[in-house]
Structure 1
């Protein structure tokens, strides 16, 4: 049997499991965290959020920030995503607990997240 997907990345597509763990940097080159999960809107076919882990040590004190997908730009030179955020702005950003991804299904919470980053929600 032949593998359906021969590679997990092409010039324009990447599998979600390869996105997970990818570093996230700000424009100053500081590593802010890494993509922990990708949340897909299965009805509309959009990537809704990238959940980024930030801070902590060995999982202790780590924060999880849902980022609207449109806030991330892939940078081949860094082999990671770049966001227009400072560490200070990220400190005040909306967070979720590791087991709270169900909050992302709440449109009012989603609007709060998108509003914080100044991005129009994809569903509007």
Structure 2
């Protein structure tokens, strides 16, 4: 079965590198958060920080901010490391409820 090049399995998205516009690698996509009602991807959860996967935090980034770059074989976001470090985040074992208050805080930070 052929799959359109405009869609991708979530399995292939997870682990994909994320870069800023300067070409610096910020991290990798750890997870996707999908709206249960609409079925649309709301956030890509970026794994960033730590060392060798230890002590890394998860940063939900609005999916619409990510642009796929075929030359880098990864996603590009208009953020630098300083902006990302100040963004809403959580630990690997502390996934928050993506309730209205949490989503509002994430969207407000990214001005969505």
Scaled by the length of structure 2, the TM-score of the pair is 0.92
Q: How does 1:1-124 map to 2 (within 5 A)?
A: 6=1, 10-104=4-98, 106-119=99-112
Q: Secondary structure at the match of 1:28?
A: coil
The answer on whether the counterparts of 2:60 and 2:89 sit within 8 Å (CA) in structure 1 is: yes
Structure 1 unaligned residues grouped into runs of 5+: 1-5, 120-124
Give the aligned length.
112
User: What's the offset of the Cα at 1:13?
Assistant: 0.4
**Coordinate RMSD, CA, aligned:** 1.3
CA distance in 2, matches of 1:10, 1:20: 19
The answer on whether the counterparts of 2:56 and 2:91 sit within 8 Å (CA) in structure 1 is: no
Q: Secondary structure at the match of 1:12?
A: coil
